[in-house]
Chains A and B, each alone.
Chain A
Amino acid sequence: LAPWVPVVGLEIHAQISSNSKLFSGSQVQFAAPPNSLVSFFDASLPGTLPVLNRRCVEAAVMTGLALNCSINKKSLFDRKHYFYADLPAGYQITQQRVPIAVNGSLSYSLCIDNKMSQMVTKTVRIKQIQLEQDSGKSLHDDARSQTLVDLNRAGVGLMEVVMEPDLCCGEEAAAAVRELQLILQTLGSSQAVMAEGQLRVDANVSVHHPGEPYGVRTEVKNINSIRFLAKAVDYEIQRQIEELENGGTVLNETRAFDSKLGCTIPMRDKEGKQDYRFMPEPNLPPLILYDSKSLPANMNHQQVINIDWIHERLPDLPSVKREKLVEQYGILPEHSFTLLNEDGLAEFFESVVKQTQMKPKKVIGWILKDLLSYLKQHSLTVKESPVSSFLLADLLNLLEKKEISSTAAKQVLVELWKGEGKTPLEIVKEQKLELLQDQKELEQICQTVIDGQENEVIMMVLG
């Protein structure tokens, strides 16, 4: 059987972290009472006009720069028309002709064969980043034959990140999205929490034989977590392969991922292919961005965005942070990945290192094995940890000074998890876990034990 080459391209919508919406002054807030964050413009009241939110543009520029894109100094806004209950104006304002950023790349790492020790770096090309409006939410109440519409989300700023189809499987897709998520969170341009709908991923999947043209692709939507992304992509690849090997065809359709069944199903028919009748948005002039060279001398600073100024102020991206951690603390690259993967863990680690004499290379073990596994077991975030960095550092200091054994340290840790407010030293004293250094004392204890177990000793001596 000829091998199959899967092709996966992702379209990611990241909600911009801003106080107000992309084109209006209403607030951006998750889980507010329905229709409580809707301005006249959001409700598409006739005669209202869009006014571009500066913070959203800055977020897009930051993201574009972080993804090595060229920032278009002139970009345009367009209307994309379709009728749907959650789209009050009957069109979405987006950037179809000339988006704000193009031609970038995202590097991410994969473990080979699930071994953290063997990581390989891969790159996926970023086709473009465009600014666009989010839609509202509609809930279908079939029981009462009605649709409930909540426009709180309508008009919230989105950055759509379009990736070239360079990915080949669920694992790559998951790793790439995870890295993008970390980048967005580091920049602060999006909180990128998938569970809150701040990061939405659609996957375009197709398969073909090497040397042949690309196959028909399907679009997979309704993916609510990175784990499900990997599952959905892999399932779809398999489904298409099976379909084709059985002599069937792949339809160019949109499918939804059903997380319970673990499969993709065709979505409700949206009347075949839509013609969105794109048209320039006449109420928004072209978006002009400047850099230090092109910035006119007497411009009102309130009215301009300087790309270079933003570039200079970009924080360290995750990849740079990881390198620094490895260099500074002598930890392994895969350790740095785990540290950055958990929100707050890297900071926790660094905090402990500061407060203890134990070498970072040893501290990392306690962080990644003991602390992290406990947090995972109890579904806690680092912030929710009952054991603070101070307490852990305190404990590790006892270990480092050889006042307790490592077995004892683990016991103390178990006590600390209870969060009863006791210090490591108090627990050690309570449970008499001190390491005895006095030779004579040790001999006495051994003698007492032997004395108390005469029969067992004789059995042992006799073999």
Chain B
Amino acid sequence: AALTDRLRSQVSAALKEGRVAPTELCQRCLALIKSTKFLNAYITVAEETALKQAEESEERYKRGQPLGILDGIPIAVKDNFNTAGIETTCASNMLKGYISPYNATVVQKLLDQGAVLLGKTNLDEFAMGSGSTDGVFGPVRNPWSYSKQYKEKCVPKSHSEDEDSDWVITGGSSGGSAAAVSSFTCFAALGSDTGGSTRNPAAHCGVVGLKPTYGLISRHGLIPLVNSMDVPGILTRCVDDAAVLLGSLAGHDPKDSTTIQDDFKPFELPNLTDISKLSIGIPKEYNAPGLSSEILALWSKAANLFKNAGAKVVEVSLPHTRYSIVCYHVLCTAEVASNMARFDGLEYGHRSDTKDSTESMYAATRREGFNDVVRGRILSGNYFLLKQNYEKYFVKAQKVRRLIANDFVKVFRSGVDILLTPTTLSDAAPYTEFIQEDNRTRSAQDDILTQAANMAGLPAINIPTALSERGLPVGLQFIGRSFQEKQLLTVAKWFEKQVQFPVIQLEEVKRHDSGVFQHQKSASFS
């Protein structure tokens, strides 16, 4: 088995058939994590516990009693999910050294199914950002920066310059998880998605990024950014694997009152051959200002792909799209101001040394513990929640949110099954360029294509589609109806098969993986 393998179709089978042992798989992943340390994808590597979990998995396989497809599979988890006994930092000074006493429900589910937790991945502080550049442990580097594909296309600025300075960002805020999957250090990773935080880095890192329907997967233990929009996100190498993860995580959680009560039945994805009954919607407002001509062309090409294969492709309108940025800004900052109120240094986390008074301790703790981005959002949010502002900002934004959600309802009611849109405005920017603009500006720009799905609670997925002229991944997004993940993933899988996105060629992975050369050419394994 190779580290570049797909989860369900390859490595899981290899484990079951004894062609590779869980401990070996785990060790190889850990070794690769070490050699790709420069990516800064991981904040904490839980080497000891991972190996222990791998050993236990091995025992189960020996007895012929594996817990399921995920038994022995190395996975990574974004560092805003609570993991008992393993540091959870949210990439913030506020939670540096914080060891949670409980597992998030999704983490517990993975562990209960025998998954091996390799470590916690890097992110923007408290998931606020679209670059994974604003955490206290430094920025995450996009593995594609070191790919043969990118290096070939990249024109070095000057020979004397540090080779390193051309690296591109992963996107965010789940950049660490996306980079981990992209660089083959794990077979799947958990991210979170509030305004695009799973789909955005998935697009930039060339991996599948699934945002499930709000209420399908438990948020218990996910440190919240915006409670009414957050969902745990799934990052994998292919759509089939995303379906596996979804199946193991979805379902009602009594600990999360916002999960639906309906039974969830895990599904396997059929291989679509006939898409003539499918109706694909192309929302014209997603030809947003700043959309690169490259991506526009790719989007068009994809639409034609569906048309030529017999599907009905129609232009649709989501007229309130352009209001989503300000709407999101108001609602997000308001919830942030509220959610961050608990970080006062009293019960857990960072506490300032100031001893003058409780108030001064709170103020100093929060100033020291939060970065500018977090503090900025708290201030904005509190402003919008002031009694005199509540109606005209918060309530107004809620109403606009309803309009945005209704846009989708109308379109889906008119017979459209799935919407096809770009995921990002362009391919990944170089880090030096990205940090020229501040976090708020960047987030506002980058989230435009992904936010609305969070506002409406709809499922959406990024599928890596092609490489840009710079040799970097570009993805396209599919948005589906509420709780219709099966349909969404089925269509996405069909599309994935058509485009045959190339495998990243990384030197480090070649060294660690014996079988990678054989898989180099083809990306189709099903």
Residues of A within 8 A of B (CB): 40, 43-52, 79, 81, 83-85, 88-91, 145, 147, 149, 151, 275, 277-279, 282-285, 303
Chain A facing B: main interface SS: loop
Q: Specify which chain A residues have a CB less than 8 angstroms from the CB of B346 in the assembled complex.
A: 85, 88, 149
A90 touches B100 (CB 8 A): no
Most B CB atoms within 10 A — which of A83, A84, A277, A278?
Answer: A277
Known contacts A46-B343, A275-B386, A279-B334; can you find 19 more A-B pairs with CB under 8 A?
A: A45-B102, A46-B90, A46-B223, A46-B342, A46-B348, A47-B82, A47-B220, A47-B224, A49-B258, A50-B257, A51-B257, A81-B341, A83-B344, A88-B347, A89-B342, A90-B341, A279-B335, A282-B227, A303-B261
* In-complex Cβ contact of A43 among B104, B261, B348, B359 (8 A): B348
B219 at the interface (CB under 8 A from A): yes
Nearest CB on A from B469, distance (A): 42
B255 touches A279 (CB 8 A): no
- Count of B interface residues, CB-CB < 8 Å: 46
Q: Which 3 A-B pairs have the closest CB atoms?
A: A90-B341, A277-B385, A282-B227
B344 touches A90 (CB 8 A): yes
Q: Specify which chain A residues have a CB less than 8 angstroms from the CB of B81 in the assembled complex.
A: 47
A45 touches B347 (CB 8 A): yes
Nearest CB on A from B380, distance (A): 12
Chain B: which residue is nearest A43 at the CB level? Answer: B347
Q: How far is the CA of A81 from the CA of B362 in the complex (A)?
A: 15
* In-complex Cβ contact of B338 among A46, A145, A151, A279 (8 A): A279
Residues of B within 8 A of A (CB): 81-82, 88, 90, 95, 100-102, 104, 219-224, 226-228, 254-258, 261, 334-335, 337-338, 340-344, 346-348, 355, 358-359, 362, 382, 385-387, 390, 394
Q: Specify which chain A residues have a CB less than 8 angstroms from the CB of B256 in the assembled complex.
A: 49, 283
A48 touches B338 (CB 8 A): no
Q: How far is the CA of A90 from the CA of B100 in the complex (A)?
A: 20
* In-complex Cβ contact of B220 among A48, A90, A303 (8 A): A48
Q: Specify which chain B residues have a CB less than 8 angstroms from the CB of A283 in the assembled complex.
A: 227, 256-258
Nearest CB on B from A87, distance (A): 9
Q: How far is the CA of A278 from the CA of B382 in the complex (A)?
A: 10
Nearest CB on B from A276, distance (A): 8
Q: How far is the CA of A275 from the CA of B221 in the complex (A)?
A: 30
Nearest CB on B from A153, distance (A): 15
Q: How far is the CA of A400 from the CA of B176 in the complex (A)?
A: 91
* In-complex Cβ contact of B257 among A90, A151, A275, A285 (8 A): A285
* In-complex Cβ contact of B358 among A40, A81, A85 (8 A): A85
Chain B: which residue is nearest A88 at the CB level? Answer: B347
Nearest CB on B from A141, distance (A): 12
A79 touches B338 (CB 8 A): yes
Q: Specify which chain B residues have a CB less than 8 angstroms from the CB of A91 in the assembled complex.
A: 338, 341
Q: How far is the CA of A84 from the CA of B255 in the complex (A)?
A: 27
Nearest CB on A from B482, distance (A): 16
Chain B: which residue is nearest A44 at the CB level? Answer: B342
Q: Specify which chain A residues have a CB less than 8 angstroms from the CB of B347 in the assembled complex.
A: 43-45, 88, 151
Q: How far is the CA of A151 from the CA of B334 in the complex (A)?
A: 27
- Sample (8) of A-B pairs whose CB atoms are under 8 Å apart: A43-B348, A46-B88, A46-B100, A49-B255, A51-B257, A83-B341, A83-B359, A89-B342
Nearest CB on B from A288, distance (A): 12
